[in-house]
A and B are shown apart, each in its own frame.
Chain A
């Protein structure tokens, strides 16, 4: 009970900040300081969300599929890349700069090219999501592998452990916190990446829907979609946190000790 109260108190500043933004938004639109065709009121956005919920749900389904497949590929790719780059310094030096360059190419520039190569269906969207998500995963895992104490590895060697055993017992578990930090970023990238690539060419998905309502100047409906995207991204990040807690039960104790 006391704990619950404490957690409410500690999140009070966040709640107040949100309320202030919401009230300011509301006042700006109600007093018509900003005309409603430029900024729809919170109420009209909620009404639009309620009216369009079925349509949004259908498009969301597509977007989430793209995001999940892309993320899955991104994670797998990240694991493989990190493993190779960690085991061989030459590979690390060869691949790392190339990887950085792929990340500096703007998504909006690469998405149409992917559409050109792969068509208007799901494939280019999945490819784009994979491209944007694998980077935080790879970098996270690499940092994790490299963070391991040299003495720890020597100790394992002194026990007669080979590289695989060192990886399983020491390196991989040590990299888990880094992996989850990367995954948290990747999850939000995945949704945004999918939406952006739909926006730039496709038949279905929230991105396509966004372009349609924008062209109809239905900004209240556009804001409704934005809210859905935000909420979904937050939920997914929360899910990552839950998985992290389940897979890393020892973290709880480490924090208690500090």
Chain B
């Protein structure tokens, strides 16, 4: 039995008279990972900013746990390709930044964030500065920050695309492992079809001009998955299907 976590109703947004996204209806169930895959110019970033509450849609609503949160930031947390860690804060303070912003004392926030360092593979980095970490480690910190200030929903905008292939593979493994330990409902934006199939429960395919959802595909495969999945016929079938739609 799945519980509806986040839902959008008929989102429309245009800039300078040009419609960017039209009639976007997506749903995210509790604990689910849903990917948005689309060509560039399909309004992914716009949709993303609407979901996080940074911009208001021209029409339509965003619901979190049944409450209208349209244009209301601070409810859904997000993570970008850039880690956006603050160079002047120690790793532990970067991870707990969202908690402090929301009014928690620094001490309390540090204690709460500190509990996750082992699970996130960040042990021993607490007192370091971000510049002392590698790109992959920095993304882990950014992910922990995102997780800690999420009320159960996180938006990930191509979080691993700036990493090299080997690190990216390691991060996928790490991500799958983490997601089996914590509960987080996730919308994952990517242009990497392999990544979308490997990581998600469902994939929404966005078509461009204006951006609309043209197809929803359920990835029917047990989790947690391993890299092996990407070599199966099943995986290739999904990939074929998505590529045909995008072509």
User: Interface stretch among B96-104, B199-207, B231-239?
Assistant: B96-104
The 8 A CB mask of B26-66 against A (1 = contact, 0 = none) is 00000000000000000000000100111000000000000
A158 touches B129 (CB 8 A): no
The 8 A CB mask of A145-184 against B (1 = contact, 0 = none) is 0000101101111111100010001100110100000000
Interface status of A248 (Cβ within 8 A of chain B): yes
- The answer for the CA separation of A127 and B99 in the assembled complex, in Å, is 45
Interface status of A117 (Cβ within 8 A of chain B): no
Interface status of B149 (Cβ within 8 A of chain A): yes
- Chain B residues in 8 Å Cβ range of A248: 88
A-B contact pairs, 24 of them (CB 8 A): A149-B82, A149-B84, A151-B80, A151-B84, A152-B84, A152-B86, A154-B54, A155-B80, A155-B84, A157-B54, A158-B73, A159-B97, A159-B102, A160-B102, A169-B86, A169-B89, A170-B86, A173-B86, A173-B89, A174-B88, A250-B88, A250-B129, A253-B129, A257-B132
B101 touches A159 (CB 8 A): yes
User: Interface residues, chain A, CB within 8 Å of chain B?
Assistant: 149, 151-152, 154-161, 165, 169-170, 173-174, 176, 248, 250, 253-254, 256-257
A158 touches B76 (CB 8 A): yes
Q: Which of B172-221 contact A (CB under 8 A)?
A: none
> Which of B49, B82, B101, B128 lies in contact with A156, CB distance below 8 A?
B101
> Which of B78, B82, B100 lies in contact with A158, CB distance below 8 A?
B78
- Chain A residues in 8 Å Cβ range of B54: 154, 157-158
Interface of B is mostly: loop
- The answer for the CA separation of A1 and B56 in the assembled complex, in Å, is 61
- Chain A residues in 8 Å Cβ range of B226: none
A158 touches B87 (CB 8 A): no
A159 touches B149 (CB 8 A): yes
Given A165-B101, A169-B97, A253-B132, is A159 in contact with B84 using a C-beta cutoff of 8 Å? no
- The answer for the CA separation of A156 and B86 in the assembled complex, in Å, is 11
Q: How far is the CB of B76 from chain A (nearest CB, A)?
A: 7
| Chain A residue nearest in CB terms to B142 | A155
| Chain B residue nearest in CB terms to A249 | B129
